[in-house]
Amino acid sequence: MSQDLKFGWLSPVIGNQWSGHESIVLYQERHILPEALQYFDSLWIADHFYGFDARTDPFLEAWTTLTWLAAKFPDVMLCHHVLGHGYRPPALTAKMAATLQTLSGGRFILGIGAGWRGDEYAAYGYDFPKPSVRFAQLEEVIQICRLMWTEDHPSFDGTYYSIDDAAAPPLPDVVPPICIGAAGEKVGLPLVGRQADLWNSAFRGEEDWKRKVGIVHDSATDAGREAGDIELGTTIETALPTSDAESQELLERLGNLVVNGLQHFTMDFGHPPTVEHVHRFAEQVIQPLRAT
Number of C-beta neighbours around residue 89 at 10 A = 14
In whole angstroms, give the CA distance from residue 180 to residue 285.
Answer: 26
Q: Is the pLDDT of residue 2 over 80?
A: no
User: Which amino acid belongs to residue 169?
Assistant: P
Q: Which DSSP category does 79 fall into?
A: E
Per residue in 201-235, pLDDT (tens digit) is 999 999 999 999 999 999 999 999 999 999 999 99
**Confidence band, pLDDT 50/70/90 cuts, at residue 1:** very low
What homologous superfamily is domain 6-291 in, according to CATH? Luciferase-like domain (3.20.20.30)
Question: How do the domains of the chain map onto residue ranges?
Answer: 6-291
Per residue in 234-252, pLDDT (tens digit) is 999 999 999 999 999 999 9
CB 42 within 8 A of CB 6: yes
**Residues pairing with 264 in the sheet:** 6, 233
Number of C-beta neighbours around residue 192 at 10 A = 29
Per residue in 7-59, pLDDT (tens digit) is 999 999 999 988 999 999 999 999 999 999 999 999 999 999 999 989 999 99
Query: Which element (helix H / strand E) includes 98?
Result: helix 90-103
Q: What pLDDT shows up at residue 127?
A: 97
Backbone φ, ψ for residue 205 (5° rounding): 110, 155
Q: Cβ contacts of residue 186 below 8 Å, gap of 6+?
A: none
Per residue in 260-292, pLDDT (tens digit) is 999 999 999 999 999 999 999 999 999 999 998
3-state SS assignment for residue 204: coil
The maximal CA–CA distance of the chain, rounded, in angstroms, is 59
Q: What pLDDT shows up at residue 53?
A: 87
